[in-house]
Amino acid sequence: MTKFTDLNLNPKVLKAIAEAGYESPTPIQAGAIPPALEGRDVLGIAQTGTGKTASFTLPMITLLARGRARARMPRSLVLCPTRELAAQVAENFDTYTKHMKLTKALLIGGVSFKEQEAIIDKGVDVLIATPGRLLDHFERGKLILSDVKVMVVDEADRMLDMGFIPDIERIFGLTPFTRQTLFFSATMAPEIERITNTFLSAPERVEVARQATASETIEQGVVLFKASRRDREGSEKRKVLRALIDGEGDKCTNAIIFCNRKTDVDICAKSLKKYGYDAAAIHGDLDQSQRTKTLDGFRDGSLRLLVASDVAARGLDVPSVSHVINFDVPGHPEDYVHRIGRTGRAGREGKAITICGPRDEKALVAVEQLIQKEIPRLENPVKSKPVEAKEKPKDEAKEPREKKSAAKSRKSDKSDKPTENKQKPRGRDRHDRDNKVVGMGDHLPSFIALSFAERRAG
């Protein structure tokens, strides 16, 4: 078995790795680190949770051990699709550079430009950024990318989903042609393959698993759900969610619950808290400080249930997530792989449960086609009762149609009889006798007193 000591990494990096408790590299690390140290371009394809981050951080740190950064001119660049993933990469650099004097800057949204500019002005060895914020700094004239020696694109397929590909192409054009490029993705869509053919030079392709496969350590299941009525779908689906959590008992130490829409994330989190569950929401509309606080609580174990949109599907590095629950089947089948990849990490066992309604069945079929296996069906933990129609009274039900028609006809005939010769009591006297409110008394106009037949004849 290969060990980190066999990979020609910097001794100070090896010391940091040992202190972090790692001895042997994962397959993607063992395959990507040697060619990266040789200065070659690398195209890494591996499912989420396999250690891709260390595959580029470790050789980058070793390559950057010599040299010094100049103001506004970073020596290396790491592009990430989300703030959370960028923050995770920054944490990895902090872990592995603890015995070195390399500097870094994290450029993400939700943080003051002035704070970030102050760090860039001093000069940084490693620049970790989301594409949008990076280009914002460049357009302000605060950043020069002509000294980038190593460029990393992480989670490239997620970049494609989020519409970042034009930005990535522009950033490639701002960096030197002689740079080294490390390109990592869980899947290889045609658009991504076009970019790799354009911007990578004879890359070493490292593929450690079949594209878009889920880890074998994850137990998967799906609950087929159908609401009793359309207007009850949301509440009944949340009831199924609570029953699933309760059914797992103590085995569910913590869980990430994924919803497709941000509004459902908020509704679901509020509902769980209302029923006494320890839950909080995270999605792209929240302030960065609130997102960071929520993630920190989930990492340190003070928060049990994290209700999230796909912003947290990647880049959330919590090794001991016991469960992932898909409240909705994701619209893109690749997102299913990334969602459930939050559990069963680093060889641990995990469980992923999906709730599938009638409208999600096509999306479920697409997921099963992608992962090339059928997801086992689970019994719905909530037994739904059919809505019973109100029964008509027995006498009314048995009454022949002809009898009803005859009664209706008699009622019509009765109403057609003239009423002028009838002795009508005065309105107040009649009210006192029958305790009923009647018409207009003596002031009743004569034409109203005529029957329908008399008025029609007249």
Q: Which domains, and CATH codes, for the chain?
A: 4-207 (3.40.50.300), 218-378 (3.40.50.300), 394-457 (no CATH)
Picking from 24-28, 246-250, 283-287, which range would have the lowest pLDDT averaged per residue?
283-287
Residues 6+ positions from 418 with CB-CB distance below 8 Å? 450, 451, 454
Q: Tell me the pTM.
A: 0.63
Sign of torsion over alpha carbons 111, 117, 122, 126: positive
Residues 6+ positions from 56 with CB-CB distance below 8 Å? 32, 36, 42, 44, 78, 152, 154, 182, 184
Helix (H, G, I), strand (E, B) or coil at 40: coil
Please give the C-alpha separations between residue 217 and each of 87, 213, 243, 259, 337, in angstroms, as whole numbers.
27, 12, 24, 23, 13
Sign of torsion over alpha carbons 392, 394, 396, 401: positive
Please give the C-alpha separations between residue 109 and each of 113, 135, 151, 288, 369, in angstroms, as whole numbers.
9, 12, 20, 8, 36
* 49 pLDDT higher than 70: no
Helices and strands (H and E) in the chain: how many: 19, 14
- CA torsion 134-139-140-145 (nearest 10°) is 60
Q: Residue 417: what pLDDT?
A: 46
Q: Residue 443: what pLDDT?
A: 59
What is the rounded average pLDDT of the residues 399-413?
Answer: 47
Could you give the CA distance from residue 69 to residue 125 in angstroms, rounded to a whole number? 5
Could you give the CA distance from residue 319 to residue 280 in angstroms, rounded to a whole number? 19
Picking from 123-132, 244-253, 424-433, 444-453, which range would have the lowest pLDDT averaged per residue?
424-433
Could you give the CA distance from residue 99 to residue 296 in angstroms, rounded to a whole number? 25
Highest mean pLDDT among 50-59, 170-179, 413-422: 170-179
Strand partners, 44: 184, 206
* 94 pLDDT higher than 70: yes
More confident residue, 295 or 457: 295
* 385 pLDDT higher than 80: no
pLDDT band at 266, cuts 50/70/90?
very high
Residues 6+ positions from 222 with CB-CB distance below 8 Å? 353, 354, 355, 356, 364, 375, 376, 377, 378
**If residue 378 lies in a helix (H) or strand (E), which one and from where to where?**
strand 377-378
* 334 pLDDT higher than 90: no
